[in-house]
Structure 1
Amino acid sequence: MATTDRYASVRYVVDDVPAAVDFYTTHLGFRLNSSAGSAFADVVRGPLRLLLSGPASSGARATPDDATTPGRNRIHLVVDDLDAEIDRLRGAGLSFRGDPVSGPGGRQVLLADPAGNLIELFQPAHS
């Protein structure tokens, strides 16, 4: 398979595209790449292109009827200082899905976008 895009893309189905765009651009450092109003937008952070598909988008219509809730899948964003990010995002009124957890590779915490899609903020362990 030939690589034709410089981005790795992930699709999240959302119920409110403008709210999702605001969430990702305001709080997580994404920039708006393109938008089709309330149907679709894509936002970019580094090599990640996040496709935000609203109910009227073809991506949302292709979703099976029984896949209506988010699973355990999530995007993974590396941060330099997890505690500082938690403080910053809590200060902006966001809440987290549990407390930070530590493992051999580092520390992480989960939050959800306005549609309930998960985002993992991850601080690698120092070598």
Structure 2
Amino acid sequence: MTGSNEYASVRYLVDDVQAAVDFYTTHLGFQLSTQAGNAFADVVRGPLRLLLSGPASSGARATPEDAATPGRNRIHLVVDDLDAEIDRHRAAGLPFRSEAVSGPGGRQILLADPAGNLIELFQPARR
């Protein structure tokens, strides 16, 4: 297998590339890397490269129709203060898809991007 080891990349299918870029860069601390109109963009946060593929992108065209809808898969972003992040995102009017839940590893809540793809905001338990 060959390829770059610099980033772990995840592809999200989106309806509107610009809306997705705005969402991830404004609210979740990603930086725009490249953009090709409303067909494709990639944004980066730490070692994660998120590929935002619009309907005209080759990545979206290669997806079978029955697999093209958002599912339960999600990216997982670690935060220092989940309550502060919840307050900040609620104040911005962002759509949550769950309430905050706690487990043995920490606390989490699900947020949705403009296309309905899920983002898990996770605060690890103090050890």
CA deviations 1:43-72 (Å, max 9, x no partner) are 000000000000000000011011132111
2: CA distance, partners of 1:18 / 1:118: 17
User: Matched residue pairs, number?
Assistant: 127
Where do 1:96-107 residues align within 5 Å?
96-107=96-107
Which is further off, 28-37 or 66-75? 66-75
Residue in 1 that maps onto 2:68: 68
Runs of 4+ in 1 over 6 A off after TM superposition: none
- SS of the residue aligned with 1:21? helix
Alignment of 1:19-98 (within 5 A): 19-98=19-98
Give me the identity figure in percent. 82
Which TM-score applies when normalising by structure 2?
Answer: 0.97
Structure 2: state its 5+ residue gaps: none
Aligned-residue offset at 1:4? 2.1
SS in 2 for 1:66: helix
Give the secondary structure class of the aligned counterpart of 2:66.
coil
Query: Matched residue of 2:87: which SS?
Result: helix
> Which residue matches 2:126?
126
**CA distance in 1 between partners of 2:7 and 2:19 (Å):** 23
Distance verdict in 2 for CA 1:4–1:68, change over 3 Å: closer
* 1:8 aligns to 2:8 (yes or no): yes
Provide the C-alpha distance between the structure 2 equivalents of 1:25 and 1:96, rounded to a whole number of angstroms.
18
Q: Secondary structure at the match of 1:19?
A: helix
Question: Over the residues paired in the alignment, what is the CA RMSD in angstroms?
Answer: 0.9
CA distance in 2, matches of 1:4, 1:112: 28
